[in-house]
A and B are shown apart, each in its own frame.
Chain A
Amino acid sequence: MSFDATFQEKKLKSVGTRPLRPDGVDKVTGRARYGADYNMPGQLVARVLRSPHAHARIVRIDTARAEGLKGVKAVITAADLPDLTNGNAALFAILDNCMARTKALYDGHAVAAVAAIDAKVARAALKLIEVEYEILPHVVDVDAAARPDAPVIDEGIFTSGVEPKPDSPSNVAARSEFGHGDVEAGFAKAEVIVERSYKTEQTHQGYIEPHACVANCNADGTADLWVCTQGHFVYRQNCADLLGLEVSKLRVTSSEIGGGFGGKTHVWAEPVALALSRKAGRPVKLVMSREEVFRASGPTSATSIDVKIGATRDGRITAATSTLRYTSGPYPDTWAEIGAMTSFACYDLENVKTVGFEVVVNRPKVAAYRAPSAPMAAFAVESAIDELAQEIGMDAVELRIKNAAQEGTRASYGPVYGPIGIGPTLDAARVHPHMSAPLGKNQGRGMACGFWFNFGGETCTDLNISADGTVTLAVGTVDVGGSRASLSLIAAEEMGIPYDDIKAVVADTATLGYNDMTDGSRGTFSSSMATISAARNAITVMRERAALMWDIPVEDVYWEEGQAKAAGSKYGNLSPLSVKDIAAEAGNTGGPIAGHSELVADGAGVSFATHICDVEVDPETGATSIVRYTVIQDAGKAVHPSYVEGQYQGGAAQGIGWALNEEYIYGEDGRLQNPGFLDYRIPVCSDLPMIDTQILEIPNPNHPYGVRGVGETSIVPPLAAVANAVSNAAGVRLSHVPISPPRILAALHKQARE
């Protein structure tokens, strides 16, 4: 990579300020266009027929009566989406999830779809599609699915990662293991051992905007897709692969996004809309209902985790193990492996072993959810660490500080850490006023740490200078949290011009080179690197243009504070040239002025956070209220501090909902019983206090301004921080998330009986 991303300390003017976001006015006035806000002439309406069964063989589908209904323009089944995945199991899972082929694998699995002139006709057509099912035994619980007598969901799954290779299929798709040292020897040295089992229920990312798209396939092989996504280039590749389209002939435009949090990182219904459009010869709009979002788009894993930690009485951990079972829906994935990697990543352990088991169940295909897999692992480990602190009579923060990972520590997932930030977050927590604030009756305080791998990725940015000297910044990472503002600040800083002179847009797939999606906390980290590079390239061009305007050698022109200046006393009479001056002459100095950048942003660095939570538990009802909440996290450099705070607060709010209320509830029939926001309760404003934040700025050595990703880590500690606070308030340990009122009351009653 030619671009030097090394951190360079310098005084910053724009970066670190808090201007209004460029997309703000459109959003608060309702003018911003989301997935469902786009329309095309002659557009049809799509509706999807979904399996009412948790597990069933599809014996026969007859679409003839639906196709005969007036106003119906196309009906498709899996036969219209032939398998073009060429042995790619991950891609096949996406295809099969979009439209069931031989079996319906969960309640809500798509089996057919209709495009009609309006929603009424489309709904009527769905009722005319005849599907004959052979109902099969199902399993939705992670522990039940892992048992040898469980109904086997996929006869082709034999547990990988075990020796000898099993000779019979099971729902345990894979085993993974990490760690080092000798845990048995470590436990032998322990004076206190805490050994517990934990469960977490399946939650949905809960993005407010459902999946929505408008698809148009033309007869000449070109196609357009307007869609709500975290990564339009990735959706383009997914759709092209699944429909056999040429990648460059499919133009994908990302709409504004009403939340994604990992749930919009691969396609769910977009290939269905394209296939309907291809068959009908007209544009097709497909918008999921909230019920469809819950039943058929990816939630996170449900988990079952065993943790064992041994320590000496002076608080040094001698050994630690975790065994983690994660559901992945009906298709194998690597969610437990990620949980196994992250579970003890906060600590400096001589002896550690973590084992993950991937479990398939008759639930929707699991998708990433903000630091995927880490919150559940942290819940289990940080709960056990808290109990350990209580057993040995040590302060919870002090115990963590004593065992915290630091530079030179071998991480539980393998490598030795470079400079890392967990220590500073714990030090900040120890002295934070929150830690010493008085607590009232029925109140308790908890704290917890969290870890996540951030990453970067392929990134491409164009910076175009207009005739009036204003700048258009075209980026390819979807703006999920204010990145158009942060990237405009970066461009302003680099070029030395006002923030208001920059207009950042998210370009479509036909007008910019490939970009990985916005995930891994990479939006501002990666695109800022490309923006810096593009701005520097534009400045190089502007220096050349200034040299032409002055008729002096370019070597004698330097850039300072947004102006080209002539070096040395021999050009003493030349006034500096601003961006506007140079842009005004562009037509006669070589044409348009632009800076481009294509790079891979790497070296994001791992991320840590420490959270503190106060709760009040009503012993009569078991209801919990969050009284006070503090997030402490390293941002490297907060480009736009308000939006960094927003990420910290948003992650905490989602984690609090996960900890206290949110869960998929299945009936005995394997059908989801609460696919709506009335019965699946995410926190609303009145449920939460103002979440306090403390931004630490320890520069990332692998970014020119020291920036780190901040989007995900904030959801990792809350499950444990809330659980520890509730356990301290109620005087009884809660080990099953969500810690809903019935579970708290049951624990209190059980304690009273004992």
Chain B
Amino acid sequence: MVEVTLWAGLIPLADNQKKVTVEATTIRDLLRKLGERYPGPKAPIKNEVAVVLDGTVYRNDWSKELPDGAEVFLMRRLAGG
């Protein structure tokens, strides 16, 4: 079970919760379950999300396992130069 903190833009789409708890083992598992629970965030999750695990940002590697006790943040995907 991991506690996920959402970025402000997602909160209104997730019943106004800033943190949600999900039973998940990988980033893919986490995003799939979030999408099932909150159909609203599906589009932003597909295109705009990056997942921060213990301070490291993951944008594409959805197979990344969620370490026990990891701090998990959903963040907007950012532009770079």
Residues of A participating in the B interface, judged by any CB pair closer than 8 Å? 1, 161, 176-178, 205, 261-262, 265, 334, 337-338, 341, 368-372, 411, 413-418, 420, 453-458, 519-522, 600, 602-606, 702, 711-712
Chain B nearest CB from A636 CB (Å) reads 13
Chain B nearest CB from A555 CB (Å) reads 29
Let me know if B60 and A414 touch, CB within 8 A: no
- Given A161-B8, A176-B9, decide whether A602 and B59 contact each other with a Cβ distance below 8 A: yes
Let me know if A414 and B59 touch, CB within 8 A: no
Chain B residue nearest to A407 in the complex (CB) = B55
Q: Return 14 A-B CB contacts under 8 Å, by A number.
A: A161-B8, A262-B79, A265-B80, A337-B76, A369-B81, A411-B55, A414-B75, A415-B52, A415-B71, A416-B54, A453-B78, A457-B60, A602-B61, A711-B81
Let me know if B52 and A414 touch, CB within 8 A: yes
Let me know if B9 and A413 touch, CB within 8 A: no
For the complex with contacts A369-B81, A370-B81, A520-B78, 17 further pairs of A-B residues with Cβ separation under 8 Å are: A161-B9, A178-B8, A265-B79, A415-B5, A415-B73, A416-B71, A453-B80, A455-B78, A456-B59, A456-B60, A458-B60, A522-B80, A600-B59, A602-B58, A606-B57, A712-B80, A712-B81
Let me know if A455 and B59 touch, CB within 8 A: yes
Chain A residue nearest to B71 in the complex (CB) = A416
Contact of A177 among B8, B73, B78, B80 (CB under 8 A): B8
Which A residues lie within 8 Å of B5 (CB)?
Answer: 414-415
* A738 and B71 alpha carbons, distance in the complex (Å): 40
Chain A nearest CB from B65 CB (Å) reads 11
- Given A414-B7, A521-B80, decide whether A600 and B61 contact each other with a Cβ distance below 8 A: yes
Let me know if B76 and A334 touch, CB within 8 A: yes
- Given A161-B9, A415-B71, A458-B60, decide whether A372 and B81 contact each other with a Cβ distance below 8 A: yes
Contact of B8 among A176, A416, A602 (CB under 8 A): A176
The 8 closest A-B pairs by CB, nearest first: A262-B81, A520-B80, A600-B60, A519-B80, A418-B55, A602-B61, A370-B81, A368-B81
Let me know if B79 and A519 touch, CB within 8 A: yes
Chain A residue nearest to B27 in the complex (CB) = A602
Let me know if B58 and A603 touch, CB within 8 A: yes
* A522 and B79 alpha carbons, distance in the complex (Å): 12
Chain A nearest CB from B46 CB (Å) reads 12
Chain A residue nearest to B52 in the complex (CB) = A415
Residues of B participating in the A interface, judged by any CB pair closer than 8 Å? 5, 7-9, 50, 52, 54-61, 63-64, 71, 73, 75-76, 78-81
Main DSSP-derived SS at the B contact region: loop
Contact of A418 among B8, B54, B58 (CB under 8 A): B54
* A69 and B71 alpha carbons, distance in the complex (Å): 66
Which B residues lie within 8 Å of A177 (CB)?
Answer: 8
Contact of A372 among B61, B64, B79 (CB under 8 A): B79
Chain B residue nearest to A338 in the complex (CB) = B78
* A342 and B52 alpha carbons, distance in the complex (Å): 15
Which A residues lie within 8 Å of B60 (CB)?
Answer: 456-458, 600, 602
* A642 and B58 alpha carbons, distance in the complex (Å): 29
Chain A residue nearest to B74 in the complex (CB) = A414
Let me know if A415 and B9 touch, CB within 8 A: no
Let me know if A519 and B81 touch, CB within 8 A: yes
Q: Which of A341, A414, A458, A605 has the most CB of B within 10 A?
A: A414
Which A residues lie within 8 Å of B55 (CB)?
Answer: 411, 415-418, 420, 606
* A456 and B56 alpha carbons, distance in the complex (Å): 12
Chain A residue nearest to B80 in the complex (CB) = A520
Q: Which of A413, A420, A712 has the most CB of B within 10 A?
A: A413
Which B residues lie within 8 Å of A178 (CB)?
Answer: 8
Which B residues lie within 8 Å of A413 (CB)?
Answer: 75
Which A residues lie within 8 Å of B61 (CB)?
Answer: 1, 600, 602-603
Which A residues lie within 8 Å of B79 (CB)?
Answer: 262, 265, 334, 338, 368, 372, 519
Chain B residue nearest to A518 in the complex (CB) = B80
Which A residues lie within 8 Å of B64 (CB)?
Answer: 1, 602
Q: Which of B56, B59, B61, B79 has the most CB of A within 10 A?
A: B79
Chain A nearest CB from B36 CB (Å) reads 24
- Given A368-B80, A522-B80, decide whether A605 and B56 contact each other with a Cβ distance below 8 A: yes
Which A residues lie within 8 Å of B63 (CB)?
Answer: 1
* A600 and B61 alpha carbons, distance in the complex (Å): 6
Which A residues lie within 8 Å of B76 (CB)?
Answer: 334, 337
Chain A nearest CB from B24 CB (Å) reads 17
Let me know if B57 and A453 touch, CB within 8 A: yes
Which B residues lie within 8 Å of A369 (CB)?
Answer: 81
Which B residues lie within 8 Å of A458 (CB)?
Answer: 60
* A567 and B58 alpha carbons, distance in the complex (Å): 40
Chain A nearest CB from B72 CB (Å) reads 9
Which A residues lie within 8 Å of B78 (CB)?
Answer: 334, 338, 341, 453, 455, 520
* A731 and B5 alpha carbons, distance in the complex (Å): 45
Chain A residue nearest to B55 in the complex (CB) = A418
Chain B nearest CB from A391 CB (Å) reads 32
Chain A nearest CB from B58 CB (Å) reads 5
* A413 and B60 alpha carbons, distance in the complex (Å): 20
Chain A nearest CB from B66 CB (Å) reads 14
* A456 and B71 alpha carbons, distance in the complex (Å): 21
- Given A177-B8, A414-B5, decide whether A262 and B75 contact each other with a Cβ distance below 8 A: no
Chain A residue nearest to B7 in the complex (CB) = A414
Chain B nearest CB from A590 CB (Å) reads 31
Let me know if A455 and B52 touch, CB within 8 A: no
Chain B nearest CB from A50 CB (Å) reads 25
Chain B residue nearest to A90 in the complex (CB) = B47
Which A residues lie within 8 Å of B50 (CB)?
Answer: 455
* A403 and B54 alpha carbons, distance in the complex (Å): 21
- Given A1-B61, A457-B59, A600-B60, decide whether A265 and B81 contact each other with a Cβ distance below 8 A: yes
Which B residues lie within 8 Å of A205 (CB)?
Answer: 81
Chain A residue nearest to B60 in the complex (CB) = A600
Chain B nearest CB from A410 CB (Å) reads 9
* A727 and B61 alpha carbons, distance in the complex (Å): 45
Which B residues lie within 8 Å of A520 (CB)?
Answer: 78, 80-81
Chain A nearest CB from B81 CB (Å) reads 3
Which B residues lie within 8 Å of A711 (CB)?
Answer: 81
Which B residues lie within 8 Å of A370 (CB)?
Answer: 81
Which A residues lie within 8 Å of B80 (CB)?
Answer: 262, 265, 368, 371-372, 453-455, 519-522, 712
Which B residues lie within 8 Å of A161 (CB)?
Answer: 8-9
* A414 and B78 alpha carbons, distance in the complex (Å): 15
* A702 and B56 alpha carbons, distance in the complex (Å): 9
* A519 and B79 alpha carbons, distance in the complex (Å): 8
Which B residues lie within 8 Å of A261 (CB)?
Answer: 81
Chain A nearest CB from B25 CB (Å) reads 15
Chain B nearest CB from A710 CB (Å) reads 13
Chain A residue nearest to B79 in the complex (CB) = A368
* A370 and B79 alpha carbons, distance in the complex (Å): 10
* A702 and B60 alpha carbons, distance in the complex (Å): 14
Chain A nearest CB from B17 CB (Å) reads 15
Chain A nearest CB from B16 CB (Å) reads 10
Chain B residue nearest to A337 in the complex (CB) = B76
- Given A521-B80, A602-B61, A712-B80, decide whether A418 and B56 contact each other with a Cβ distance below 8 A: yes
* A458 and B61 alpha carbons, distance in the complex (Å): 9
Which B residues lie within 8 Å of A454 (CB)?
Answer: 80
